[in-house]
Amino acid sequence: MGFIVIVDDELSIADALSRLFQMHGLEVTTFQNAANAWQYIDENIDNIDLVITDLVMPEMSGQQLFQKIKNSYPYLPVIVMSGKATASDAVELMKEGVYDFFIKPFENIDKIVLIVKKAIELKEIKKENISLKSKLSESIAFQKIIGKSKKMVEIYETVTQVAPTKASVLITGETGTGKEEIAEAIHKLSGRKGQLVKVNCAALTETLLESELFGHEKGAFTGAIKTRLGRFELANEGTIFLDEIGEVSQNIQVKLLRVLQHKQFERVGGEQPITVDVRIISATNKNLAEKIKEGTFREDLYFRLNVINIHMPPLRERVEDIPLLVKHFIDRFSKEHSKEIVGITPRALRVLMAYSWSGNVRELMNVIENMVILSRDEILDVVHIPSYIMDEISKKPEFSLSDGNQDYETIKIKLGTPLEDIEKIYITQLLQKYKNKAKVAQISGIGRKTLYNKLKKWGMDSGKEEDYQKS
């Protein structure tokens, strides 16, 4: 069973085709106007398997209807028919993606029925392939962004919805939360032909930033020995990412506003307007609303930039994502630095989850890279965590080295206990309780070989495993 929409201003032809297809078990609805047909298709797309349209019609042509369908529902096959088109017209339409071309008057009715049934069969395959490609594109776009917390899932959904549009996006959030990665994801999912061009607005002086953004003509200033294209021109048909947008001067704000409003600008030292098609994504860790009140940021520019706002939460507000991030960074840096780190102990992970992370994901990434590089063990542990993190954690009223599982221990550490003593205290108490090295290795998450080496270093190794196996 399949559902066909037939569009032809000649009612007799539409009715004849309708009766033919119904005789073969297909459902059909007919229209004499392409605009009305498009409205119906758009509202009932889930139920439609094929569109057959005449080429030449008043108001909206069959080719225009095909383009609308192609742009919105590329998996839906369209067959065009005409008694006036030439062979070259048919070839061109087929190149554009039309499934087939029927010439009026119809000569081989059986062949038409076979073509129609084949088109309906292939529609579902094409729809499934497009769905898989879409999921693959999303997977690639989000591969740098790690997290399954509710806040991150909401951000993924927003990015997926916003990406195909032309709307300007303002990404807000603290330093290190992943604003640039979100900009990259939006561009990858946008389908824009041009490249993503990044500009750090805080890294350049006003004069240099103006030249960087808009380019300059030869002789515009001392040292301008040749004409230089700006970032907006380089991003034509693509996306420009303006990081730290809150740092730009009033003069450049005016020029940015013009680009947003009219898609035009002049190079420094130039008079010829340059028109570009650029999607603008900006980011800031500043409170732009406060800067507007202070008079340092234009309100009209803010509204133009902030058509869609995506706020990146700090890491402390999505602690549940830390284990995923830690695993990702361990895998990444183990590979990059040719290390054989296979994981992290529960107690070390608990420390990382208790830390405040003022530098957010970027700080966590740097910490894990540091731990991976400096570790001589296969499993990262508390001893590998930088001292400044342990210093903060040790000042908390009670420091737990357990993940809450009954097989792990909670150890109370006095305020000010040196980092190097914490691990020894923990291991000593476990040995006193369990009298078994294998059990202690299991509970602490430390490999047996590593544990034996530590005990030997501390002068606590009896040399006989059975000494620890007595109950």
DSSP 315-340: GGG-GGGHHHHHHHHHHHHHHHTT--
Q: Where do the CATH 3.40.50.2300 domains begin and end in the chain? A: 3-133
Q: Where do the CATH 1.10.8.60 domains begin and end in the chain? A: 317-468
pLDDT at res. 471: 36
- And the tokens for 363? 């700080």
Tell me the C-alpha distance between 122 and 293, whole Å. 59
pLDDT at res. 138: 64
Check if the beta carbon of residue 195 is closer than 8 Å to that of residue 234: yes
Rounded to 10 degrees, what is the CA torsion of 243, 245, 250, 255?
60
Q: What is the DSSP string of 10-23?
A: -HHHHHHHHHHHHH
Fold for 317-468, please state it: Helicase, Ruva Protein; domain 3 (1.10.8)
pLDDT at res. 419: 56
pLDDT at res. 105: 86
Q: Alpha helices of 108-216 — where are they, by DSSP H?
A: 109-141, 150-162, 179-190, 206-214
Q: Where do the CATH 3.40.50.300 domains begin and end in the chain? A: 144-313
**144-313: CATH homologous superfamily?**
P-loop containing nucleotide triphosphate hydrolases (3.40.50.300)
Q: What is the DSSP string of 354-400?
A: HS--TTHHHHHHHHHHHHHHH--SSEE-GGGS-HHHHHHHHTSS---
Tell me the C-alpha distance between 250 and 14, whole Å. 62
**Distance set, CA 239 to CA 261, 266, 277, 466 (Å):** 16, 19, 9, 67
pLDDT at res. 393: 87
pLDDT at res. 156: 92
Check if the beta carbon of residue 239 is closer than 8 Å to that of residue 279: yes
Task: Give me the architecture of the 3-133 domain, per CATH.
Answer: 3-Layer(aba) Sandwich (3.40)
Check if the beta carbon of residue 239 is closer than 8 Å to that of residue 192: yes
Which segments of the chain have a pLDDT < 70?
A: 1, 85-87, 128-140, 397-420, 444-445, 447, 462-471
Tell me the C-alpha distance between 414 and 102, whole Å. 86
**Distance set, CA 396 to CA 45, 241, 351, 355, 399 (Å):** 59, 41, 11, 10, 6
